[in-house]
A = this chain, B = another copy of it.
Amino acid sequence: MVSLRQGFSTSPTPASSFYENFEPPGPTVKTEIPGPRSRRLIKDLDKVFDTRSLSILTDYQKSTGNYIADADGNMLLDVYAQIASIPLGYNNPVLRQAAKSEAMIDGIINRPALGTFPPHDWAEVLRSGLLKVAPKGLNQVFTAMAGSDANETAYKAAFMWRRQQERGGPDVDFTDEEAASAMDNQSPGAPQLSILSFKTAFHGRLFGTLSTTRSKPIHKLDIPAFDWPQATFPQLRYPLKEHAAANAAAEKASLDEVEHLLTTYRVPPCAVVVEPIQAEGGDNHASPAFFRGLRDVTRKHGVLLIVDEVQTGVGATGRFWAHEHWNLATPPDMVTFSKKAQAAGFYYGDPALRPNKPYRQFNTWMGDPVRALLFRAIADEMKRLDLVRHTARVGEYLYAGLEDLDRRYPGEFANLRGKGMGTFIAFDNPRRDDFLARVKKQGVNIGGSGESAP
């Protein structure tokens, strides 16, 4: 698939005086990419740092707004945006101001161990930033470093919550057998419990998250994994209105499979983790009704619902959090975030998701205040310029344009999807990788997702 999810979304409106001359009138492609200077530098870099996944050797000083510059003077419109993690364009002048602040310098040179020695104004930093944009119903946060450990600490919270329930509540202490067996990596101390994820999901690449990632073999090969279950993610057919009955049946079958696995899998799941839109796995969408059903089935069986908003969060879908599209009756138990937030972690609401003793959910740094401060500046600027709504509008415009192209070039823009989901738009092209390469030559940096991605 060709994914358009990453650019545009938060491109600042030209109306703001901050952003005058922020972007060039269009792309400039002077050389092949990589050009001669890039090739020389890449060859040198490769001696000390693996460059085989390198796409553009970037000149960040010259990159601006939605335009990425390379080491040969090329300037591309960037709808890939550092794998969906640049929220307000390159060299954003408002973020530049924030980066020069005393608070930011302080965070760089005096990095705290946040669990043990938090800054005296940490509550205020959280409330005016991370928590100000927290999903509805979730008023607490555990801060982390990136998407993988955001998800893994959420999984840990789920395991501790479940075992605490089984034990009879937070006041019941561990048995000696539990303590001893945990030290030997054996049950009951290290329990036989699992996290249920979906086929074609992507949740990260460390050992716990990789056990829930089901995107591509290249991500998983040769790495030991936990025996955790996977359910089929609904495979919707497009255009949606022509396949309403088949799609509803696919979603029902998926929910039935989830329920079956929750009740019968040999390693019982204590949580289900799901992306609102499977991104890395191929831009796979499901209906709000499907996610409401997932909330229902998890509640029915006393299992937590973790919504992984690492890629969908922070405005890209035309809502600040993608799961706002679902109108859930009760919020997810945990929502994880990273990427465009620049900061990372998970939100939660239920006090029982704090383990019953200190030092259980803990590590040295527990996040990075520099990134928490940056997220505050990002969220403020998004609000000031109403960028979430702007993204919804840009998405409508873009989607209509792609619909038009689909009519004019049948088959080249197949399974166009993401209507009403901001700029989180994708389509299938029969010669995808060739298409991406040709678009790049035209000056647009764009990414693929799913099975045959490069």
Contact = CB atoms under 8 A, between A and B. Distances in A.
A146 interface: yes
Given A60-B106, A222-B191, A85 B364 contact: yes
A120 B364 contact: no
A97 to B, nearest CB: 10
A362 B109 CA distance: 28
B339 A117 contact: no
Nearest to A367: B146
B86 A111 contact: yes
Interface-centre pick from A142, A218, A374 (highest chain B CB count, 10 A):
A218
B221 A119 contact: no
A206 B205 contact: no
B120 A41 contact: yes
Nearest to A78: B117
Contacts of A223: 156, 159-160, 182, 190-191
Contact of A159 (B98, B156, B222): B222
A50 interface: yes
Interface stretch (A123-131, A314-322, A389-397): A123-131
Given A119-B58, A218-B359, A226 B227 contact: no
A163 B95 contact: no
Interface stretch (A18-26, A207-215, A425-433): A207-215
Which residue among A47, A194, A223, A342 has the maximum number of chain B CB atoms within 10 Å of its CB? A223
Contacts of A57: 117-120
Contacts of A54: 115-118
Nearest to A104: B108
* Residue picked from A141, A194, A221, most chain B C-beta under 10 Å: A221
B149 A206 contact: yes
A108 B221 CA distance: 33
A82 interface: yes
Contacts of A59: 119-120
Interface string A78-104: 000011011000111001101110101
Given A60-B106, A224-B193, A363-B146, A358 B123 contact: no
B364 A83 contact: yes
Given A55-B116, A149-B148, A48 B185 contact: no
A49 to B, nearest CB: 6
Contact of A110 (B90, B131, B218): B90
Contact of A58 (B45, B53, B112): B112
B122 A109 contact: no
A220 B190 contact: yes
Contacts of A141: 48-49
A110 B63 contact: yes
A185 B71 contact: no
Given A140-B49, A205-B363, A56 B117 contact: yes
A365 B60 contact: no
Interface in A329-376: 338-339, 342, 354, 357-365, 368, 370, 374
Given A155-B207, A174-B217, 19 more contacts: A50-B142, A51-B118, A53-B358, A82-B116, A83-B113, A108-B374, A145-B146, A146-B365, A148-B149, A159-B224, A182-B222, A182-B223, A183-B214, A183-B217, A185-B225, A185-B226, A185-B227, A185-B228, A204-B363
18 contacts: A48-B141, A49-B118, A56-B116, A70-B120, A71-B120, A82-B117, A91-B106, A95-B108, A100-B100, A146-B364, A149-B206, A152-B206, A180-B217, A182-B223, A191-B222, A192-B224, A207-B208, A219-B359
